[in-house]
Structure 1
Amino acid sequence: MPLPVVAIIGRPNVGKSTLFNRLVGKRLALVDDQPGVTRDRREGEATLLGLDFTIVDTAGFEDEDAATLPGRMRMQTQAAVEMADVALFMIDARAGITPLDEEIARWLRSSGGTVVLVANKAEGRAGENGVLESLALGFGDPVQLSAEHGEGVADLFEALRPYIEREDEPEPEEEGEFDPETAVLKLAIVGRPNAGKSTLINRFLGQDRLITGPEAGITRDSIAVDWNWTAPDGRVRPVRLIDTAGMRKKARVQEKLEKLSVADALHAIDFAEVVVLLLDGTRGLELQDIKIADRVLQEGRALVIALNKWDIAEHASSLFNGVKGALDEGLAQAKGVPLLTVSAATGKGLDVLMQAAFETREAWGRRVSTGQLNRWFDRALEANPPPAPGGKRIKMRYITQNKTRPPSFVLFGTRVDQLPESYKRYLINGLRKEFGFGAVPVRLNLRAPKNPFDHAK
């Protein structure tokens, strides 16, 4: 199904191409102070806080004979408006309303289409008069923004959402087509020195691909090896295994080479999709393990924790329960991270580990439709309404997912900056439970519409 179409129209040099470039995330349209740079209409795939649509940049609307070049450019603009679901009528708030703006407004009213008025260059006080003047155009309150600086995008989202949002239709991935069945799983193995990371990868590969030994710190560079895992059901899944240097406490990392190795390991975490934190089952959990796990989660990566050397671990049951309790306490922001037991020496538990890695990546890349989100959101607010600090109600309007990998959400409302952390945790935990995100990192950002009367900023 084709995406909804949004056309940007307005007189020359009001900032149409600047907004176009911001919405598509690239400098596709030429931008210059000279008016009339854009001539043909240009289309691009736009994403605005989770809303996906086709955006059309048009030439500046000019009152010229149809046979002239400006006249032919105007014909292109009119064709763009006719094909669009929504027209963004842009004015320059600093320049105020001109006779050409009024003519464009008359034409738009006669066209009968959906029009959203946008007052560009509205940052600061210089655009206040233009904003007030624009009310006379007959399209209601304008969306105030600065296309150059990215201010006011939340208000633009709010204005466009009723016209282009599609209930329950999963939005496409922001990183292109992603098929979890065929995409290579980027899996990094991290941990303290001598936890058995290289031995684990060798066991996966069935060969001594990496040097191993009793000495700590043999691995210095992060090594990536491509491998195909055959799942118990017979499916062959491609994997890129990344071995990393052991990460000791920062105070103990003194040699320049080891510092570079640790930096390389941290870079490998950034590159990975799923990170396996390998613990030494003969030594249990240490503070350094918690710090590594926290770093992985802070970077937004999916995390799986594995207790290695389980074939020789003593007091296995009490050890497992102790490690699990300490992880739940030390990683309060992501309780329930998968904790598995493996033996790199014997191969025990490795298929379970790989299955958990693929399942965790699936949750890490999951997208939920805005319709599903807001039905859950309404129930969550009804079950536990937000507090009213100082007797003033915090009004939360709606929520949308703007990113995956990790799942990230934007919550819109008034006075949301006063929302307590405990209520944010309530919402995040609700998202995890309702939509099966498990313990993958979940981001929740709060956005309030711009207040046109707030000059303190």
Structure 2
Amino acid sequence: MADRRKPMRPVAPLPSADLPVVAIVGRPNVGKSTLFNRLVGRRQALVADTPGVTRDRKEGLALVRGRYVRLIDTAGLEEAAPETLFGRMRASSEGAVADASLVLFCIDARAGITPSDEHFAQWVRRQNRPILLIANKAEGRLGAASALEAYSLGLGEPLAVSAEHGEGLADLMAEIVDHLPPEPEPVDFMADAFGEDMFEGEGEEGEVVLPARPPGPMRIAIVGRPNAGKSTLMNALLGEERMITGPEPGLTRDSIAATLFDDGDQFEIVDTAGLRRKARIDEALEKMSVSASIEALKMAEVAVLVLDATLGVHEQDLQIARLIEREGRACVLALNKWDVVEDRNATRKAILDRLSISLAQMRGVPVVTFSALTGAGVQRLLPAVRDACTVWNARVPTGELNRWFESMLERHAPPLVDGRRLKLRYMTQVKSRPPTFVLFGTRAELLPDDYKRYLVNGMRETFDLPGVPIRLQLRGTKNPYAETGRKSR
């Protein structure tokens, strides 16, 4: 039975296909991420006064003078061998330029023109892409005068801006729009939003029954400890080397989102930085990375918890699973590096036994085994995510729920509290995402935790709700004589 609520006008989907791509490139620490945040209108990329904060390409949707663009923040361009970390970062930036409709080449106006600026300006010129030269950190008169040195790069007139202070952005946006390819014919996105499948049908008394899951992409957060293979999994799902990977732990610093279409469904997948124990997080930059990972988890519908199957379940894995449960997200357990596991039956049993003992709320969580490096088994992940999301959105009819509730009371009556029996009357589901139920009754708020677990486990088994948090709230009946001091008969 679906949830019956008043029909709500959906938000029009933003145009996502065939948007012009604007890539921000330049050497490290010239303010590319700060400019990216200014143009997308929020602090989406990590910013710190440290060179090399950005490692992976980060995309954002920016509205520039009435036109949507896909804005890409890239790692700093540096000369390095291809097999090194900086070489892989440069290759990622080069890939962004290859896909770009417009390149914003940034320099630091305060530092002046460096040999790296000159070298990469020549490289960008050879890519045959429209280029705008951005002299960042050009606040005040002195900065604007310093920006004039950028003429020597041969990339045209430099645009003096200060991304940190918001100066010169209006002129920059105008130039971006002028250099974009012609805008395609407009599409009535709102008409597409109200398709025939928008509503499930008529409810009682003319109410409209909304679908179990709202329209839009399914949001997935890939979480786990450092070096568990999250970025490699992201690349395997996307079918391209989008994320920088390697043997070094902690390569991913920011939460990187990408859109994937699979079997008619749209997914927004977010790769997050590895979550370590709190006591081991010292640097301010790593604290920001962890905060970005937690924020991505809060915005997700399904969390894919990636474990290194060769190492089993670590205490930090359990802490991350508890965080997923506390945030009320659906979960899929992803056992990576399965191709090098010797005794697979014993490994799977040990992991599931540890989870069932330490995390009762994760009982029945779907498990997918694969090798992100070779791609074997990765195709089973998205179907498991779909199933977990369906359970997360599930609703139980009130009549069916209360028939089950009566049978549970008959099988095991509530215990006495302070020598008096609790009178539990009925239950109802108040929301999904995750499934949340309210139990009403006299002094119901005094119900012991072990009886609550008895009810929750029964709901999980009877109504087939594996692997998702189930919330059970208690509402006691108000005593009309409590405030007067009179005793009820």
Same fold (TM over 0.5): yes
User: Cα distance, 1:172 vs. partner?
Assistant: 7.0
2:213–2:393 CA contact under 8 A, matched in 1: no
Matched, 1:188 2:212: no
Alignment of 1:218-367 (within 5 A): 218-230=251-263, 236-367=264-395
Q: How many residues align?
A: 288
Matched residue SS, 1:401: strand
Matched residue SS, 2:473: strand
2:395–2:429 CA contact under 8 A, matched in 1: yes
Provide the residue aligned with 2:84 in structure 1: none
1:168–1:372 CA contact under 8 A, matched in 2: no
Matched residue SS, 1:358: helix
Matched, 1:210 2:238: no
2:441–2:477 CA contact under 8 A, matched in 1: yes
Provide the residue aligned with 1:70 in structure 2: none
* 1:125-176 CA-partner distances (Å, limit 9, x unpaired): xxxxxxxxxxxxxxxxxxxxxxxxxxxxxxxxxxxxxxxxx9999x978xx6
Between the aligned residues of both structures, percent identity stands at 48
Provide the residue aligned with 1:98 in structure 2: none
1:211–1:219 CA contact under 8 A, matched in 2: yes
Alignment of 1:381-392 (within 5 A): 381-392=409-420
When residues 172 and 240 of structure 1 are mapped into structure 2, their CA distance, relative to the original with a 3 A threshold, is farther
User: Cα distance, 1:313 vs. partner?
Assistant: 2.2
* 1:25-46 CA-partner distances (Å, limit 9, x unpaired): xxxxxxxxxxxxxxxxxxxxxx
User: Cα distance, 1:179 vs. partner?
Assistant: 4.5
* 1:88-109 CA-partner distances (Å, limit 9, x unpaired): xxxxxxxxxxxxxxxxxxxxxx
Aligned CA RMSD, in angstroms, stands at: 2.8
Which residue type is aligned with residue 185 of structure 1?
Answer: M
Matched residue SS, 1:193: coil
User: Cα distance, 1:452 vs. partner?
Assistant: 2.1
Unaligned runs of 5+ in 1: 6-23, 25-165, 231-235
2:257–2:270 CA contact under 8 A, matched in 1: yes
Runs of 4+ deviating beyond 6 Å: 166-169
- Scaled by the length of structure 1, the TM-score of the pair is 0.59
* 1:278-310 CA-partner distances (Å, limit 9, x unpaired): 011222211000000010001100011111011
User: Cα distance, 1:367 vs. partner?
Assistant: 1.1
Matched residue SS, 1:311: helix
- Scaled by the length of structure 2, the TM-score of the pair is 0.55
Matched, 1:436 2:436: no
User: Cα distance, 1:408 vs. partner?
Assistant: 0.4
2:4–2:208 CA contact under 8 A, matched in 1: no
Unaligned runs of 5+ in 2: 9-201
Separation (CA, whole Å) in 2 of partners of 1:257 and 1:410: 42
Which residue type is aligned with residue 218 of structure 1?
Answer: L
Matched residue SS, 2:460: helix
Residue from 417, 424, 447 that aligns with 2:445: 417
Which residue type is aligned with residue 301 of structure 2?
Answer: E
Matched residue SS, 1:344: coil
Separation (CA, whole Å) in 2 of partners of 1:306 and 1:205: 17
Which residue type is aligned with residue 221 of structure 1?
Answer: D
User: Cα distance, 1:419 vs. partner?
Assistant: 1.4
1:305–1:340 CA contact under 8 A, matched in 2: yes
When residues 456 and 300 of structure 1 are mapped into structure 2, their CA distance, relative to the original with a 3 A threshold, is farther
1:192–1:246 CA contact under 8 A, matched in 2: yes
User: Cα distance, 1:451 vs. partner?
Assistant: 1.6
Separation (CA, whole Å) in 1 of partners of 2:212 and 2:470: 20
1:167–1:371 CA contact under 8 A, matched in 2: no
Matched residue SS, 1:199: helix
Which residue type is aligned with residue 277 of structure 2?
Answer: K
Which residue type is aligned with residue 371 of structure 2?
Answer: S
Matched residue SS, 1:410: strand
